[in-house]
Amino acid sequence: MTKKLTKNKGFSILELLIAMSITLALMGVATTLFSGALSTRKRESRKTDALTSARAALSAISRELSNSGYGMTTNGIVTADSNAQKIHIRANLSNEDYSTDSVGENVTYFFDSATQSIVRYDPNAMPQTSVIVNRISSVTFKYFDYTGSSSTPTEANVATTNTGRVRITVTVKLEEVLGQPKNQTITFTSDVTLRNSTYMLNQY
């Protein structure tokens, strides 16, 4: 009896090439999706850091600015030293002879472009200069003046003795992340009412 031999056929070269092409294509898609996910995660992480920085800056400035003029007969803003990029405020927090020689009573906030930071200067503190928050792109101050009994203020880039409200705008430019849009920024704005301004005192 003659045995019939059967040949076991393997994959042809063409079939192997097709299979490898499909595998490589799938790996490429998976790599692209994974890379995109990492970029998104990195962007969101930096965005969260930027938000935290901006909020910290606004909180620090707003807290002291709202007390400007406390224990004094003015709104506490040093008009000759305050503009759109800087604000200089005084307050007699210790309530002693109208002087502002104690820590926290004579404060200037300004943006230092060299270090991308908001800086606080207090001549009565040690150290006198301290960085409030870094990784900031800009900070601007806008002043709202109230005259007489009018509740409608006039807006200006410089402070006056009639300033009753200050708008602080902090802008953070997000670091570039590969695969994400460039030049993204986050802006926070906070309006601070000067409780000790002439207009606000007349409301009580």
If you ran DSSP here, which 8-state letter would residue 117 be given? E
CA atoms within 13 Å, Cβ hemisphere of 146: 19
Size (the chain), residues: 204
| Whole-number pLDDT of residue 43 | 67
| Whole-number pLDDT of residue 192 | 94
- The token pair that represents 185 in the structure block: 């920024």
Range 120-144 burial, b when 16+ CB lie within 10 A, else e? bbbeebeeeeeebbebbbbbbbbbb
Amino acid at 67: N
Indicate the pTM of the whole model. 0.74
If you ran DSSP here, which 8-state letter would residue 6 be given? -
**Lateral strand order in the sheet of 185-193:** 154-156, 138-145, 163-173, 185-193
Cα separation, 44 vs 61, in Å, equals 26
- The token pair that represents 5 in the structure block: 């031999």
| Whole-number pLDDT of residue 5 | 55
Q: What is the mean pLDDT of each run of 10 residues along the chain (204 residues)?
A: 58 80 84 71 72 80 91 92 95 80 93 90 94 85 87 91 94 73 82 86 68
Amino acid at 119: V
